[in-house]
Structures are given as C-alpha cells and as structure tokens.
Structure 1
Amino acid sequence: MKKRMALLAIAVLLLLSACGNETIEDFSYTNQRGETVTNDSLKGEPWIAAFVFTNCDTVCPPMTANLASIQEQLVDQGIEDYRIVTFSVDPVSDTPEKMQEYLAKYSVADESKWNLLTGYTQPEIAEFAKDNFQAFVKDDPNSDQVVHGTTFYLMDGNGEIAETYDGYIDVPIDTIVDDIAKQLD
C-alpha cells in the first residue's frame, strides 16, 4: 500500500510540474540590426513574442501595427523595461536588412526595443514554434505565404510564457500593457 501511495504521489508531482510554465529552449538568432539575440540576452525583462514575416499580405501588417500600439501605450505610461520580439516564419526571405525596411514602415516609438529575428531554416522555426509556443507554422508550397498563428505571447523575465492574447483582432492592448507592468512589480 505504501509503495502504491508513493507511486501515486510521484505521478501527481510529475503531472503538476508538467502543467506549469516551461522556459523556452535556448536560441541564438539575428535581429534586424544584425545583432545576435538569445533567450539569455532577454532575461530579466518581460517581452512580447509573435510570429510574422515581411512578405505577409494578410495578418502580419495588423499584428505589427498592434505591437506598435502596445509600445506606444508602454511609452505613455513610462514603462521602459520590456522588449518586442518577432520570429520570422519566412527566414530565407527575411534578411536583417529586409526586416529593418519592414519595421521602418511602422510608427514605432522606440525601435531599440524591437528584435525581428531570423537566422534559421523554415523547418527549424516550425519546430521551434510548435515545441515552445504550441504554435502552428507551415510554409505554403503553392504561394509565397506562410500559414501561422496570430497569438501574442507575454514572456516573463525568466523566458516563460506568462500570458497569451489574440494579436490580430480585438487585441486587448490595455490588458497587455497592464500585464507587462505587473511583470515589473
């Protein structure tokens, strides 16, 4: 009986530990300024993660505009300790230079807070998105588009997903800004 109870207790502990947030896997990618960005370099500050690409003709432009609106509110509230990180889902086309040109199309309050990442293969980002964010990324072989989710992920200072939000329609900008502020308390 004691053995069965011990096994049950271990199973419960394993189940509970699996339910908690997990830190995303180590990465080292290149941003739009040609700088290396790692999950370690983002530690200590909350950051918003999203999946976009520069040639997107559907959801990415509004998602990027929504990220810019979030930043505008962060600036208005005097919040300075955060980052905005996008992972390109079309890394072959999205060079650092192309991503810099893409970002310049948007009215961003502080470009230094943005990291538009590339420097991996299409299969690598699809696997990274699935394994770390339970996000879907699929190259469309019949077009120049990539199918991907529209979720924004609020990452805490330890690189764990703290919250998720719709990043495309009905984006809860005020809530996201409040949640970032709470991360800094």
Structure 2
Amino acid sequence: MKQTIRLALALLLLASCSPNKEEATVQSATTPAARPAAVLPPESVYQLPDTFQTQDKKPLVLKALAGKPTVLAMVFTNCGYACPRLTDDMKAIEAKLPADASRINYVLVSFDVARDTAEQLKKYATDKELGKNWVLLHGPEEAVRTLSVLLNVQYEKNADGNFSHANKIIVLDKNGVPRFHQEGLGVNPDETIRQIKTLLN
C-alpha cells in the first residue's frame, strides 16, 4: 500500500515538474502559497509518511515543516566540492533575508543513508556554521529516493561510495508544494529570493 502511495505521488509531481536543462535555470512559482491546509494538496511532498531523523537525533515527518516556506537541497557530507558550494548558496539566500529568518525553514536531506548519521550531520552543520533555522535530515533509503523523485533531483551512488547528483535548491510553499527551483552552483540568488518573498506574502 505504501509503495502504491509513493508511486502515485512520484507520478503526480513528475507530471508537474519538468525543469529546463540550463547550466543555471530557475522555475518560477505560478501561484502564491496558501496557508497550511488540514488536507495537504496531492502534489505536496509532505504527503510522504516516512520518519526522518534530524542532526539532533529527533524524529521528523516532513509534514512538521508545514506553515513556512522551505528552502531545501539534497546533499551528502563527504562531498568534496559541489555540496559545500550548494550549502553556501543556501547560506547566501539566508543572508539576504535576515528579517525573515524565523519565517523560513532551511533543510538539507542527505543521499548518504549509510554514512550521514545524526552525528555526522551535526558535525557538518557546525563546520558550515548553520544556524538554528537549519534542519539536516537522513532517513531510510527508500524514503530518500522517493523524495528525490518527487523533487526531480537525480542522484546515483558511485563505486567509491560517493554520489553523482544534480545541484538544485528547491523552494517549497507552506504546504510542501515545490514552487521554484534554482539549478547550478554559484547562481545569482536574486530571483530565488524574490520568489521566496512572494511565498512569504
């Protein structure tokens, strides 16, 4: 039954998310965010029932993030180049929205279910000086793969245990619906910030 729900969710979002393959592209929100509803929209990634674990060893179901726009990327902490830069790109977005710090979730979800324990994620958060608005998650392999499909973030495990992956920052509205994505590294975040402000309003 759970597998059927996952597949249905994946197909729904894949039908609605088809980003352009530019070096640095952006997909715009088409409608402003609504207040969190008792019943989430079918395209919400918060429909996933799986329990993740935070860097503080706390269980978290994605629906717990509802109520605020969420800026999210999928990474792994042993990444030597792209993931630290992607994290820095998210920090640059955060730095340009200081007045809205408490109104936005910043979330990193790890591909590396074997190595990225809560302790390792906590170390990464400390090393990267990530603030209290940041949540770092690891979860069951199937849950991580399903989320990646819903967000259209491709990744593949390499023979050396590391990962090849897309570099995307996704903005979810208050109900967990993907409204916008920024693709590439070192992208000017101005349009991303404009879209986040639209969702906040």
TM-score, structure 1 as length reference: 0.79
Letter in 1 for 2:163: V
Please give the alpha-carbon distance, in whole angstroms, between the structure 2 residues aligned to 1:19 and 1:71: 27
Q: Is the 8 A contact 2:106 2:134 kept in 1?
A: yes
The 3-state SS of whatever aligns with 2:161 is coil
Report what 2:139 is aligned to. 119
Residue of structure 2 in register with 1:59 after alignment: 82
- Number of aligned residue pairs: give it: 162
Is the 8 Å Cα contact of residues 94 and 101 (structure 2) preserved in structure 1?
no
Amino acid of the residue matched to residue 112 of structure 1?
K
Give me the whole-angstrom Cα distance separating, in 2, the residues matched to 1:38 and 1:160.
15
Partner SS, residue 91 of structure 1: coil
Cross-structure match for 2:67: 44
Correspondence 1:1-185 to 2 at 5 A: 19=16, 22-24=43-45, 25-26=47-48, 27-75=50-98, 77-108=99-130, 111-121=131-141, 123-130=142-149, 132-140=150-158, 142-169=159-186, 171-185=187-201
Look up the SS of the partner of 1:80 in the other structure: helix
Percentage of matched positions with identical amino acids: 23
Mark the runs of 5 or more structure 1 residues left unpaired by the alignment.
1-14
CA contact (8 A) 1:30 1:119 kept: yes
- What is the Cα-based RMSD across aligned positions, in Å? 2.1
Q: Which residue identity does 1:101 align to in structure 2?
A: K
Change (3 A) 1:41 1:127: closer
CA distance in 2, matches of 1:135, 1:38: 20
How far apart, CA to CA, are the structure 1 residues paired with 2:122 and 2:180? 28
Consecutive unaligned residues of structure 2, counting only runs of 5 or more, are: 1-11, 18-41
Which entry has the higher C-alpha Rg, 1 or 2?
Answer: 1
Distance 1:107 1:69, change over 3 A: farther
TM-fit CA distance, 1:127:
3.4
| Offset at residue 167 of structure 1 (A) | 4.7
Residue deviations 1:136-174 (CA, integer Å, cap 9, x gap): 12111x2131111101110000100010112523x2322
Comparing 25-34 with 40-49, greater Cα deviation is found at 25-34
